[in-house]
Structure 1
């Protein structure tokens, strides 16, 4: 990061990244698709080696793809600036798990595949990804539960609508004051806050919700609280439940947005990098339920070849017990740093769940946005499916939902929520 040209000018970080991308050895991937191809259940075998095992099952059962030429995703300029300013001072702690010197931006913009801790650095990069650094408020998103049914029209089992899925970061801030760290961080030690409330539908769950705090101290587990419509009371939630117990049917909190469990509680193993398919520039917003798999996923949309890192994640038994997953395979886009898919395996080592994310890149979440409009392009997730591949039940969340009153849905780094939104008092008040 301190490389100089003969003139003394700093070489832009993007140039260095391109150099290392070219010299980073790629795992061979014999592409069996080309732009213009359409992938259906009938020719799903063409993409078996180009997607995760769980995603391949979804395609084989009717999730259709349009193959397009790949195009670039650039970081938001404030995130790029923060990376260039602060990343040179970041390093792993002596335990090779915690971060030292992190302020904002991407912690490790240059990766060495021969580094014994490259997997840990990749995962820290995907925790501090450019999609939303300061705050986010996803409004009126809906989640539809359906069973995979190849060749069939949608047949909903249940529908859930939640008023807000929100997050607030106390450090790593790049666009909204206070920058780059909230002063409260030194007092509370809270790294980030998340909330999902109030539930609007179904009626029997109306008012329910939850909040969660994550601490920078690697030895301190997350705190979480839930307000349940049935009891009308707030109760503390065990941290293990956030990863193993169903939330919205097949979803759990640690996979809402990609792999998001507390990093110090897991071991990471680098499995390599590979050119694979991902939905990075989705065209449909709102996304639409597939007409060819019973509405279990969202399709059809554009998929392109992307450079992905692959990391195996296993729980550390000395830190956390009771996790139902024996391992999780995380796929990370090396440019946009989103998870196109994540596969989890049960205690028998058999594939259990897969999460599939449809990402897009534009200056607004929907074409007719009036408020959520940005001065540069940024990433948005337009749909995400969590599929129990053993039962065939899938929960697909739409951002925005096809029928919700708030079509803009995504409010990223706009100060739409502050710390007061992430309190048990606010949770209880909304629930009543």
Structure 2
């Protein structure tokens, strides 16, 4: 919860939570790392208990870390105010799965570890997180497919460039009219809409993309459409395939839509188990934007980059019986930052219970996505995802994405809660027309 200049004495809830977090985020006396330490494959043992198994794999394969002091991440003031205004009325449904009376802000700002439903509440907090609440448009970002390895040469297997990665929330809006709920929600019942199109590279995928709708009704699955310009075919897709890299078109890639930004699967379709809280390392205040390519692991990460000790909630997510025959993962272990409410990393396990994939995200905390921004400038700091890597730990195959892109025409890249996209962007007609 925010502290400092963004909190006034008129907000006792925000002040109380800020004090609790400041205490919780202090490094424990037995921490094996301290600010100024540089972690490499040679001393990776120092962080084995401070990162997930998937992140530890990446460190042993050459991803370097610069340990920096712990930051205090403040929520955007409009999101904080909405939390104080609406959170007291929010509760879980009788079956403990869906939200009731949610309007805007964080649904559950106070959590009790002994609450049998605390894991589900954590996941709803992460679903309606402060990083974006109204709309976002990530314009022109790029990704490299590589094989990770200690001192492995940088060899790009495939290069991807995307025109738009965008979303629009119909509920929980805090900064752009209509606030706090788009009237269209009463008609469609959509929580949000997402679009990724057009793909600009590689050439065999040029012009393709997909859109996705998420609904408030617990039993209503996502609507997803994929456009393939080569065949001029608009295909309706089953949401179970969102755990696979559906837009790869045969190109090797490790990213699936359910993990484009942390954990994006429908909350009600999973069972959750609270595994506890732990002080762990995460990259939430990265020093580079655009991110830099790691030269010591074959380009499979952003490194060296700032990592700091954070308080993370650990939650196990297992697909419910209704989708377990479709989801490719038997379970996911989610590491949720208790202040920014984003997963700095997620580990996925295959049907045999073996570690399969790791998703790592590098975020930065500033008032603009890049230092020389001219449009996307905010009166307060906010979090931006500047790098993301999906790694198949069983093969070493990694998709490393740069946000903003390193080789793209749009340098400013992130436009969050600026009205950059509206509902019209998330239609099949708009996706088809955008194909170059």
Tell me, yes or no, if structure 1 residue 425 matches structure 2 residue 429.
yes
Contact 2:25 2:311 in 1 (8 A): no
| 1:335 to 1:394, Cα distance in 2 relative to 1, 3 A | same
Tell me, yes or no, if structure 1 residue 313 matches structure 2 residue 317.
yes
Q: Distance between the aligned counterparts of 2:25 and 2:73, measured in 1?
A: 21
Written as runs of structure 1 = structure 2, the 5 A alignment for 1:15-414 is 15-18=15-18, 20-21=20-21, 30-248=30-248, 249-414=253-418
Contact 1:224 1:236 in 2 (8 A): yes
Q: What is the Cα deviation at residue 398 of structure 1?
A: 0.6
Q: Secondary structure at the match of 2:235?
A: strand
Q: Secondary structure at the match of 1:49?
A: coil
Q: Secondary structure at the match of 1:365?
A: coil
Q: Distance between the aligned counterparts of 1:314 and 1:205, measured in 2?
A: 32
Q: Secondary structure at the match of 1:368?
A: coil
Superimposed CA distance per residue, residues 326-382 of structure 1 (whole angstroms, 9 cap, x where no aligned partner) = 000000000011111000000000000000000110000000000011111000000
- Structure 1 runs, 4 residues or longer, greater than 6 Å off: 22-29
| 1:394 to 1:316, Cα distance in 2 relative to 1, 3 A | same
Q: What is the Cα deviation at residue 10 of structure 1?
A: 6.2
| 1:25 to 1:338, Cα distance in 2 relative to 1, 3 A | closer
Q: What is the Cα deviation at residue 155 of structure 1?
A: 1.0
Superimposed CA distance per residue, residues 242-278 of structure 1 (whole angstroms, 9 cap, x where no aligned partner) = 1134545101100000011000000010000000000
| 1:43 to 1:419, Cα distance in 2 relative to 1, 3 A | same
| 1:23 to 1:146, Cα distance in 2 relative to 1, 3 A | closer
Of 187-196 and 151-160, more deviation after overlay is shown by 151-160
Superimposed CA distance per residue, residues 141-199 of structure 1 (whole angstroms, 9 cap, x where no aligned partner) = 10110001211342111100010000000000000000000000000001100000001
Of 27-36 and 48-57, more deviation after overlay is shown by 27-36
Q: Secondary structure at the match of 1:291?
A: coil
Q: Secondary structure at the match of 1:379?
A: strand
| 1:231 to 1:377, Cα distance in 2 relative to 1, 3 A | same
Tell me, yes or no, if structure 1 residue 14 matches structure 2 residue 14.
yes
| 1:218 to 1:371, Cα distance in 2 relative to 1, 3 A | same
Q: Distance between the aligned counterparts of 2:23 and 2:283, measured in 1?
A: 25
Q: Distance between the aligned counterparts of 1:176 and 1:394, measured in 2?
A: 36
Q: Secondary structure at the match of 1:50?
A: coil
Contact 1:137 1:416 in 2 (8 A): yes
Q: Secondary structure at the match of 1:192?
A: strand
Of 228-237 and 128-137, more deviation after overlay is shown by 228-237
Contact 2:40 2:64 in 1 (8 A): yes
Q: What is the Cα deviation at residue 24 of structure 1?
A: 7.8
Q: Secondary structure at the match of 2:49?
A: helix
Q: Secondary structure at the match of 1:88?
A: helix
Superimposed CA distance per residue, residues 384-410 of structure 1 (whole angstroms, 9 cap, x where no aligned partner) = 000000010000111001111111100
Contact 1:28 1:274 in 2 (8 A): no
| 1:29 to 1:140, Cα distance in 2 relative to 1, 3 A | farther
Q: Distance between the aligned counterparts of 1:50 and 1:234, measured in 2?
A: 45
Q: Distance between the aligned counterparts of 1:107 and 1:414, measured in 2?
A: 23
Q: How many residues align?
A: 424
Q: What is the Cα deviation at residue 29 of structure 1?
A: 8.5
Q: Secondary structure at the match of 1:309?
A: strand
Contact 1:27 1:273 in 2 (8 A): no
State TM-score, norm by structure 2. 0.94
- Runs of 5+ consecutive residues of structure 2 not aligned to the other structure: 1-8
Q: Distance between the aligned counterparts of 1:295 and 1:40, measured in 2?
A: 15
Q: What is the Cα deviation at residue 32 of structure 1?
A: 1.0
Contact 2:224 2:238 in 1 (8 A): yes
CA RMSD of aligned residues (A): 1.7
Of 312-321 and 75-84, more deviation after overlay is shown by 312-321
- Runs of 5+ consecutive residues of structure 1 not aligned to the other structure: 1-8
Superimposed CA distance per residue, residues 197-249 of structure 1 (whole angstroms, 9 cap, x where no aligned partner) = 00101111100000000100001000000001331221101111111345451
Q: Distance between the aligned counterparts of 1:259 and 1:242, measured in 2?
A: 11
Q: Distance between the aligned counterparts of 1:11 and 1:80, measured in 2?
A: 9
